[in-house]
């Protein structure tokens, strides 16, 4: 007896056996049970995901002697004829080799006749997008007014090539790529039926080679069995299907994360000795680090990663000792190296340089720990302010204590403390911080802050608002880690005796820099000589 390949031997014969397309199975079964079966169906999706198999199962369910039923019996003569492809009432047509209008006209003429011994005459047209424009026009008429005994099932991998007039007359079902876990489960079932000894890791390699296609995975499984027999080894599968050994990815990533530069470079040597394409291996390593990052970043990675359970457990064990930030920093370096390999003469060197950088990265402190350290420094600096005094005439307008109880104060400012406080406010409350930039620090200490603004200015009026002033008090208490009194004062006259606001200081620094720049440009010997030779003049100077 001739050998039957696994893709044909284990082709689904019922909706229950259809792997990974439960949404299609349920809809078609409900349509049959409620007698709401359309006259034309369009099955779309990638190759090998079950479109033609679903069409045959639907044809059997509609024409079964026990039906129409949600599942065909597969034992009656009609079901067996459809399974064998010998039914005269269920015709499978290859759209790629029957593209002409004459072929479709013949189909249209024959469809008028009643089925010979079945309930429906069913036409299954595979790769329907290959039909010519005239052929689609000839098909359109019968799709508009189909006979009651005719059903059409179209299958295609490129639905965007079908005319909208055809699409609008069909019930469309989009077939998904089969997940790796479901392909592995199906391969495990077939291995048990065939008496094959094989590990889950090897099955995952075969399923990954199939790239979401059940038929491609079964074809690859057939090739593995022809090479290995009934005892399949992981190394043989990796060699045969040409995929990167997962253990090599795990060893290399572990060396990088542990800072072992020796093992990292030795791993690259193993990659090269195995004959792997360096850029392809780098892409596999990127996918590996991406899996580690997802596992450490989300509570349920199984719903995101298309991995077998055994692979997921192995990745969890590797990722549990490393922070997400550490994995992400290394992943960024790896992605950059891969993009540079497209035009590189020495891709191995790029990979080695990237791995050395990844292995040498110093751990970063958590953000919260850095914030606590900064707060401690701010508290220490604010507790021992360096004060300077300058006379000024100002009148308190709003304060956290009564004006009558406030003793007369000279303008006082802590060196650097006011700038840090305003920067803190800009980060926490940008609107409040923007107002404070225009204020003069009349007095700054951890327990009391007094801010001056020109009389009648918008900024003074804004800070007099009770909500704004309360916001400043809360920010000051948070910044100084203690209750802080805040007072707002009106500075009389032009405020020249008051300390400069941050806006004024920035403007002064900018003006001084521009004056220095202008002078530097005017005195530059090359420019001076050029002006003499060319007889020109300096019109404008812009900082680069």
Q: Say if strands 171-174 and 40-44 run parallel, antiparallel, or are unpaired.
A: parallel
CB-based contact 95:131 (threshold 8 Å): yes
Report pLDDT for 243: 65
Arithmetic mean of pLDDT, 30-37: 90
Q: Report, as an integer, the average pLDDT of 76-82.
A: 90
In percent, the amount of the chain with pLDDT more than 90 equals 12
Domain coordinates of the chain in residue numbers?
A: 6-174, 180-241, 246-360, 371-400+408-499, 510-544
Q: Which residues face 93 on adjacent strands?
A: 125
Average pLDDT (181-192) is 90
Question: What tens digit of pLDDT does each residue of 332-366 get?
Answer: 999 999 988 888 888 889 999 999 988 888 766 66
pLDDT (average), residues 32-41? 90
Beta strands in 269-358 (DSSP E): none
CATH of domain 180-241: 1.10.8.60
- Residue 252: pLDDT above 50? yes
In this structure, whether the domain defined by 6-174 belongs to CATH 3.90.1640.10 is answered with no
Kindly tell me if the per-residue pLDDT of 406 is higher than 50. no
Would you place residue 375 in the very low, low, confident or very high pLDDT band (cuts 50, 70, 90)? low
Listed range (271-280, 349-358, 479-488, 523-532) with the worst mean pLDDT: 523-532
pLDDT above 70 for 402: no
Sheet holding 440-445, edge to edge: 394-399, 485-491, 448-454, 440-445
How sure is the predictor about 286, in pLDDT bands with cuts at 50, 70 and 90? very high
- 126-156 pLDDT, tens digit each: 888 888 888 888 888 888 888 889 999 999 9
Please tell me the chain's helix, strand, coil percentages from 3-state DSSP, rounded to the nearest 5: 55, 10, 35
Least confident of 38-52, 174-188, 372-386, 424-438: 372-386
Q: Do domains 180-241 and 246-360 have the same CATH topology?
A: no
Q: What would the pLDDT profile of 376-398 be if each residue is shown by its tens digit? A: 666 655 554 443 333 344 444 44
Pairing of strands 121-126, 90-94: parallel
**50 in the Ramachandran plot: left (φ > 0), alpha (ψ -120 to 50) or beta?**
left
Q: Of 129, 69, 77, 74, whose CA–CA distance to 99 is shortest?
A: 129
Tell me yes or no: is domain 246-360 CATH 3.40.50.80.
no
Lowest mean pLDDT among 122-136, 260-274, 389-403: 389-403
- The reported pLDDT for the residue numbered 383 is 53
Average pLDDT across the chain, whole number: 82
Interior angle at CA 70, CA 69 and CA 75, nearest 5: 60
**Is residue 51 pLDDT above 50, yes or no?**
yes
């Amino acid at each position: 007896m001739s050998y039957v390949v696994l893709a044909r031997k284990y082709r689904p014969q019922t909706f229950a056996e259809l792997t990974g397309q439960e949404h299609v199975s349920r809809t078609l079964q409900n349509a049959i049970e409620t007698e709401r079966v359309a006259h034309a169906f369009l099955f779309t999706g990638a190759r090998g995901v079950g479109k033609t198999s679903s069409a045959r199962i639907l044809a059997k369910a509609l024409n079964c002697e026990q039906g129409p039923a949600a599942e065909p019996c597969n034992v009656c003569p009609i079901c067996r004829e459809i399974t064998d492809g010998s039914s005269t009432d269920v015709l499978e047509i290859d759209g790629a080799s029957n593209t002409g209008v004459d072929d479709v006209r013949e189909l249209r003429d024959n469809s008028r006749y009643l089925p010979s011994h079945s309930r429906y005459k069913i036409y299954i047209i595979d790769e329907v997008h290959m039909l010519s424009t005239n052929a689609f026009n000839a098909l359109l008429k019968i799709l508009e007014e189909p006979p009651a005994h005719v059903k059409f099932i179209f299958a295609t991998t490129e639905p965007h090539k079908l005319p909208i007039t055809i699409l609008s007359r069909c019930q469309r079902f989009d077939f998904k790529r089969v997940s790796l876990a479901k392909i592995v489960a199906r391969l495990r079932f077939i291995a048990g039926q065939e008496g094959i000894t094989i590990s889950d890791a090897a099955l995952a390699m075969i399923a990954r080679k199939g790239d979401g296609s059940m038929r491609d995975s079964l074809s690859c499984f057939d090739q593995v069995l022809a090479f290995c027999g009934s005892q399949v080894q992981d190394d043989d599968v990796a060699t045969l299907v040409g995929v990167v050994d997962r253990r090599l990815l795990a060893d290399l990533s572990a060396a990088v994360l542990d800072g072992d530069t020796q093992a990292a470079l030795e791993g690259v040597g193993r990659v090269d000795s195995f004959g792997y394409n360096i850029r392809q291996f780098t892409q596999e390593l990127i996918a590996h680090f991406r899996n580690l990052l997802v596992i450490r970043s989300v509570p349920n990675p199984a719903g995101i990663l298309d991995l077998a359970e055994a692979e997921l457990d192995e990745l969890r064990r590797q990722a549990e000792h490393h922070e997400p930030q550490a994995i992400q920093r290394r992943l960024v370096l790896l992605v950059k190296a891969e993009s540079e390999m497209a035009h590189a003469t020495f891709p191995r060197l790029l990979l080695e340089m990237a791995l050395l950088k990844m292995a040498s990265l110093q751990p970063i402190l958590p953000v919260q720990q850095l914030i606590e350290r900064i707060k401690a420094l701010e508290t220490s600096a604010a507790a021992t302010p360096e004060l300077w005094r300058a006379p000024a005439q100002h009148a308190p307008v709003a304060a956290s204590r009564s004006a009558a109880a406030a003793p007369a104060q000279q303008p006082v400012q802590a060196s650097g403390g006011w700038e840090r406080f305003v920067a803190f406010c800009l980060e926490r409350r940008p609107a409040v911080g923007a107002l404070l930039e225009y204020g003069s620090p009349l007095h700054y200490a951890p327990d009391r802050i007094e801010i001056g603004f020109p009389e009648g200015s918008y900024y003074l009026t804004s800070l007099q608002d009770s909500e704004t002033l309360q916001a400043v008090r809360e920010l000051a208490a948070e910044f100084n880690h203690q209750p802080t009194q805040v007072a707002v004062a009106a500075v009389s006259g032009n405020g020249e005796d008051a300390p400069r606001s941050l806006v004024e200081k920035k403007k002064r620094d900018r003006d001084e820099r521009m004056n220095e720049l202008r002078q530097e440009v005017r005195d530059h010997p090359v420019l001076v000589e050029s002006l003499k030779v060319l007889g020109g003049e300096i019109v404008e100077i812009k900082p680069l």
